[in-house]
Amino acid sequence: MYEDLPRTKREAQQLGAKRYFTGRLCCHGHLSPRYTYGACIACKSEQRKKARKIVPLAIRKALLKEANSSGASIAPALVKGCH
């Protein structure tokens, strides 16, 4: 599956590759390639998924705060789930 990837970080850097695969689990238990800057690809993917869920909530809260301070009304569907 990952046979074509370099086996070490150093080898990947020498080849100019962005990823490598050691065949060892990361500290969170993923058996996944790593980026040359050290992050496990599966861990990074999970971080991105969490960030996509958090940012929209922050945006909704900011819109609600702005609407409350200006006295304007805001569509309830837009702030749904905002606590």
At 20 the three-state DSSP class reads: strand
**How much is the pTM?**
0.61
4, part of any domain: no
19/77 Cα distance (integer angstroms): 42
Q: Could you give the percent of the chain with pLDDT greater than 70?
A: 83
Residue 3 lies in a domain: no
| Residue 14 structural domain | 9-79
In a domain, 57, yes or no: yes
Q: pLDDT above 90 covers what percent of the chain?
A: 51
Does a structural domain hold residue 1?
no
Domain-embedded: residue 46? yes
**Count of domains for the chain:** 1
21 in a structural domain: yes
pLDDT tens-digit map of 33-73: 999 998 999 999 999 888 777 767 778 788 888 888 876 65
Helices (H), the chain: 9-15, 41-70, 76-79
2: in domain: no
Is a pLDDT exceeding 50 seen at residue 26? yes
Q: Which amino acid is it at 53?
A: K
